[in-house]
Amino acid sequence: MILVSGASGFIGKHLMASLLADSTPCRALLRTPRKMAWGGSSAIADLSDRAALIAATEGVETVIHCAGYAHAFSVGSEEEIKKNWAINFEGTRNLIEAAGYSGVKRFVFLSSVKAMADSVEECVDESQEGVPSTVYGESKRAAENVVLATGQRFNMHVVNLRLAMVYGRHGRGNLERMAALVGRGVFPPLPETGNRRSLVHVRDVVDVVRHVSQDPRANGRTYIVASPHAPSGRELFDAIRAALGLPKSNIHIPEAMLKLLARLGDGIQLCARRRVPFNSDVLSKLLDSACYSPEAIWRDLGWRAAVPLSEGLREMLGNEKDF
């Protein structure tokens, strides 16, 4: 039996669909009762409720911990700090300890490359961890450490997966928002700056989760999960236009002008006290590098992300309903 936390979320839904497609016994861990489109069994437990988590993990062999607090936009707020530590750190600690007490054999934690220092110019790997630059990253790093320590304590097979930006159908992240704006013709044509942005398709995430949960060589390890090719912001812009069936654009807005527009967005955001689609934070995600090397997991386990960007974007932008 596999227990999936965060089963109602973006990655969790895709993972549950994959498990059920090949009749793998699985259970969704949910905070509140709800009817899931795929059916199947579920357990109700908040990550703060240790007794409920112990009950939810009884009879379970593998836990895939997808739940977490992300997409926190009000950086530095007291509320965000509390949520990051309560959910990402304390919630992970509570779940893996419950798993240990229940005799769970395997535990896979979906962490983030944000648990490392930000990539600046070169592509970094697991040996260049540095210091996380956000509360989110700090809470994820602390959770990783708890997973490894608790795995040793209970003799449990544990793996941390540091995911790059995950995209795909039903996603609600930065790439999906960018694609929506490109489709509406309101996203600025980016210049080619030679930056590199790591990402990974959700189908590859599901595949690697299932792989590392069964591969004994992954035990006690922390791996970056990203596609082999990290495109530039301009490459992403062109690839999204192609996936939408739009002609290739031969124009671009100079970087200096984009920075001016971004500062204007910052001002509007400050006055309106609400997030705007284009500001300095968004621009940095498009023009700066965030490149993370997936070579370690390929070298150690023989696993590599296989979904090409063009295929992944077409699937992301499709209208098919799979769950």
Give the pLDDT confidence of 191-221 residue by residue, as tens digits: 999 999 999 999 999 999 999 999 999 999 9
pLDDT confidence of residue 38: 62
pLDDT digits (tens, 9 = 90+) for 288-320: 899 999 999 999 999 999 999 999 999 999 865
pLDDT over 90 percentage in the chain: 68
What gap in Å lies between CA 194 and CA 313, rounded to an integer?
A: 21
Collapse the DSSP code of 275 into the 3-class scheme (helix H, G, I; strand E, B; otherwise coil) and give the result.
coil
Q: Domains of the chain (ranges plus CATH)? A: 2-167+198-227+291-307 (3.40.50.720)
Q: What is the DSSP letter of 50?
A: H
Residues 6 or more apart whose CB falls under 8 angstroms from that of 89 comprise 139, 142, 143, 146
Give CA 101 to chain center in angstroms. Answer: 28
Q: pTM, whole model, 2 decimals?
A: 0.91
pLDDT confidence of residue 323: 54
| 70 vs 234, residue with greater confidence | 234
